[in-house]
Amino acid sequence: MQNCTDAVVPARRIESTSSNLLCNTAATLAVLGGDSAFAETLHVGKPNLPDRQRFMQRLESVLDSYRLTNFGPQVVEFEQSVAELAGAAHCVATCNATTGLELAIRALGMAGEVIVPSFTFVADPAALAWQGITPVFCDVDPHTHCVDVARVEAAITARTSGILAVHLWGNICAVEALQEIADRHRIKLLFDAAHAFGCTVGKRAVGSFGDAEVFSFHATKFINAFEGGAIVTNNAELAQRLRFMTNFGFSAEDEVSHLGVNGKMSEASAAMGLTSLEAMSDIIQHNRRNHEAYVRGLEFVPGVRVLQRDPAEQHNYHYIVAEIDTAATGLSRDQLVAMLRLENVMARRYFHPGCHRMPPYRKFHADAGCALPVTEALSQNVLVLPTGLAVSAADVSLLTSRIAVAVQQAARVRAELARCQDPRLPTFTTE
Ligand SMILES: *Cc1c(COP(=O)(O)O)cnc(C)c1O
């Protein structure tokens, strides 16, 4: 086992010996020369595999039918299930959410400028820029991490054609306030709901807000279809147009009435998506237990705050998001990421460094004159921790106890990280 302290500090037990977790908590941190907490690496977004047999049965029926794609029965059933769960009248399944966003952006006639958060996955500004639209980056609310409504309004110009807002981590945007702004300025409102499948706000499911909402069913998401996405809307005419556009613009045999792409979902993906949906309540229950274990385990760790979920609403609990206050922890978010890598935990720093700082998007923000202080802070402080079916509540207890010990011994952890050469360390710790 690699370690960073052979020559220096002998393993030292920490004082207290009265709790159950003790054999864990008392263990020396890997960065201080102990063994890694986990033999197998824990990942953020390891796929939630549903029942294998059920999936294989569906796949057999796909093969038997020779209907591998082009709106076959698996896709039709998947669209019906998603529409129902999302409380939307129409659902158009797509090959992934990014293509779904591009299709929705085009079908809604967005052009010129669209307001979008910078603190999100790069797919959002990418989908806009790919359509020749200028993404106008807007700051987020420090509590929900969703677009700040006042900032949205301030960013509207004569060229603004729409708002692309993101229900980040399954936290729901201020949907009514955004709709009011969109109506008043006669612009479109599209939601990236990639994180929010299965979530509610005011008991209403995510899926029927704005002009349309887009889900992702990528392998790393809560419900997966290998790769997949879906556009949901209550607008029948829009749904029809989107359906044509996902299939080269065909509106009938040999009849192309729209500009289109190939954005269809395959039958194999829909078979996975349907099997995954069957496991939805089990996954939520599992995630919720993990979330509670994280909250318990980190509750008394100074400077580590886990984003809470409103217990009155339904939530998928798919993202465990912690904000690190370095002044209180004595360790930066990046130092915690590094320390966890040595424990074989691949915690992640989403959405570092913010889309506005990425080379293809800097030019859109160069002279925008709108500061993004919350985005800047969050991209330095947000730590995303592993959960999902591959992570047990016992794993979470062990993981959180390692964080607690690291914060207790922050000075030593900092010193060891500074001289550590372990190849598992992320390159940015030496930046
Ligand atoms: C995953 C994700 C996407 C892209 O989804 P794909 O299905 O991989 O194209 C878009 N937005 C957010 C916020 C995401 O997390």
10-residue mean pLDDT profile of the chain (431 residues): values are 40 37 64 95 96 98 97 98 98 98 98 98 98 97 97 96 98 97 98 98 95 98 98 98 98 95 98 98 98 97 96 96 98 97 96 94 76 94 98 97 97 94 82 50
Structure tokens at 315: 């939530």
Q: How far is the CA of 351 from the centre of ligand 1 (A)?
A: 12
d(C-alpha 166, C-alpha 137), whole Å? 12
Pick from 347, 301, 332: nearest CA to 429: 332
Phi-psi region of 235 (alpha: psi -120 to 50; beta: other; left: phi over 0): beta
The predicted structure's pLDDT at residue 11: 35
The predicted structure's pLDDT at residue 21: 43
The predicted structure's pLDDT at residue 19: 41
Which residue type, as a one-letter code, is found at position 72? Answer: G
The predicted structure's pLDDT at residue 15: 37
Q: How far is the CA of 124 from the centre of ligand 1 (A)?
A: 8
Is the full-model pTM beyond 0.95?
no
The predicted structure's pLDDT at residue 112: 98
Ligand 1 binding pocket includes 194 (Cβ within 6 Å): yes
Task: Look up tokens 């089990």; give the residue.
Answer: 282
d(C-alpha 216, C-alpha 274), whole Å? 14
Specify which residues 129 forms β-bridges with: none
The predicted structure's pLDDT at residue 371: 86
The predicted structure's pLDDT at residue 249: 97
Ligand 1 binding pocket includes 192 (Cβ within 6 Å): yes
The predicted structure's pLDDT at residue 368: 54
Ligand 1 binding pocket includes 97 (Cβ within 6 Å): yes
Structure tokens at 242: 């989107």
Q: How far is the CA of 194 from the centre of ligand 1 (A)?
A: 5
Structure tokens at 288: 């919720």
